[in-house]
Amino acid sequence: MKRIFVVVLFSAFVVGLNAQNATQSKILTFEDAIKIALKNGMLLNQQRNNLEYNKMLKTSAIAGLGPSISGTVQAYQTNGNSFIQQQGVVNGTVDAFNAFLNANINLFNGFSQINRIKQADNALDAQLYFVNRTAQDIINTVATQYLAVLLNKELLRIAQENYNAQDKLLLQIQEQVKLGARSPVDEYNQLSQTKAAQLRMLQAEVNQVNDRALLAQTLLIDSFEELELVRPSSWDINEMTSKELELHNLYETALKQRGDYQRAEKNEMAAKYNMEVNRALMLPTLSAFASYGSAYNKKQGDNTALSFNDQFKVVNVRKQYGLQLSIPIFGGFQNRTTYVQQRVNYLNSKATLRNAEVLVKTDVYRAYQNFELYKKTYAVTLDQQKAAEVANEYEVERYNLGVTNFVDYANANRVLVQAQTDKAQAEYRLLFQKILVDYAVGTLKPEDMQ
């Protein structure tokens, strides 16, 4: 008996614990969602890594203006004929040690290194703009999915309220049928209406589950964890409807802020300087060089050889310096081919810049026009919902009095639910459209939507 009591008590504890865990959900604010996405975003992290590489390329290009310095140290032993500076050719085992310091610097190479620095600098700026635009891409994606979950939550609430109302009315009609106040056909009509409302509720729940899972996948978080999304307090629909935008100002701002357009500009400049770098391959190169070193050699068993200090510091010291002029004469047109290839890349980058400019203009125009239209749409849905609510109240009253048929009553309810749905969709579409405007202009920032 005691064992059974313990088992029952433990089972009740487990069931209660599972029920508590099931009801608990994690609150995910929009700000937290953005932070998680910016931290876990694969593409953004890849572009950040590429940014570090571009920084190193720029540093290397600047350092290329300085001399190239290298040192060589050798210690070895030779058996057989060897040449010693102080003795000539000797036969035997010779111990040797030498060290040299070499330096080389370009004096003129067609300004290749200067252009290489400019190319690396513009490439670095282009990558920085790419990182910023990638971050905005992530914010836009998360905002879209976050709003979709909030919209589905609102649609689910509307569907649940409609289902509860229809189910309550079904119970009333069933009682009236039992009392003989209504025909059984009214009960079956209402049952069909109730089941249709339940179906819409389940469909809304399916959409919510799918959008929650998609958001969790984007954020790279556990999709098994129940998330409770909170609408930011700053998302004021009244403020959105009163906001006035000016198309030409938006376009001018976009040309200064859009990361993809600025990246195209910098890529064009980088391609231009890279073309000049390869043009320099067809020009003469003048460089200066210098070498300083010394050596020590001693045949084993030769006690007459000079000491290490005498040889290495005095006798065998060697200095060399001079100028070198290299003139390309003929190399199978390889340098020419490389230059033409980079010139084609430059022309292609100019075409890419032109396309980016057209894309910016199109995006800004579309976002602006849609924002203005969605403001009007939202205003229309407000009037639509008010009219549908009044019509439904009258129709319910007439239906309860028995002066209207079920078809008119069901149609009034359907119109009301559709009006509520249209209003919710218009509200969230307007909120999302403002985000699209900021995205099109290139001013989308997470702090602007908190």
Is the same domain home to 309 and 274?
A: no
Indicate the helix (H) or strand (E) that contains 332: none
Q: How far apart are CA 94 and CA 79, in angstroms?
A: 6
Q: How far apart are CA 224 and CA 222, in angstroms?
A: 5
DSSP 122-190: HHHHHHHHHHHHHHHHHHHHHHHHHHHHHHHHHHHHHHHHHHHHHHHHHHHHHHHHHHTSS-HHHHHHH
Provide the 3-class DSSP secondary structure of residue 95. Answer: strand
pLDDT in tens, the chain (450 residues): 444 444 444 444 444 444 444 446 788 988 899 999 999 989 999 999 999 999 999 999 999 999 999 999 999 888 877 777 677 777 778 888 999 999 999 999 999 999 999 999 999 999 999 999 999 999 999 989 999 999 999 999 999 999 998 899 889 889 888 888 788 888 898 899 899 999 999 999 999 999 999 999 999 888 888 888 888 777 788 888 888 999 999 999 999 999 999 999 999 999 999 999 999 999 999 999 999 999 988 888 777 778 888 888 888 899 999 999 999 998 889 999 999 999 999 999 999 999 999 999 999 999 999 999 999 999 999 999 999 999 999 988 888 887 878 888 888 888 999 999 999 999 999 988 988 999 999 998 766 554
Q: Return the structure tokens found at 409.
A: 């009553």
Is the same domain home to 240 and 316?
A: no
Nearby residues of 382 by Cβ (< 8 Å), 6 or more positions away: 423
pTM of the model: 0.81
Is the same domain home to 260 and 359?
A: yes
In a domain, 96, yes or no: yes
User: Which of 308, 327, 346 is at the close of a domain?
Assistant: 327
User: Which of 263, 297, 327 is at the close of a domain?
Assistant: 327
In a domain, 8, yes or no: no
Q: How far apart are CA 263 and CA 124, in angstroms?
A: 10
Q: Which region holds residue 232: left if phi is over 0, alpha if psi is between -120 and 50, else beta?
A: beta
Q: Calculate the dihedral angle through the C-alpha atoms of 408, 414, 419, 420, rounding to the nearest 10 degrees.
A: 130
- 291 lies in which domain range? 66-107+285-327
Q: Return the structure tokens found at 312.
A: 């290495």
Is the same domain home to 223 and 319?
A: no
- The CATH number that applies at residue 387 is 1.20.1600.10
User: Which of 268, 303, 327 is at the close of a domain?
Assistant: 327
Number of domains composing the chain: 2
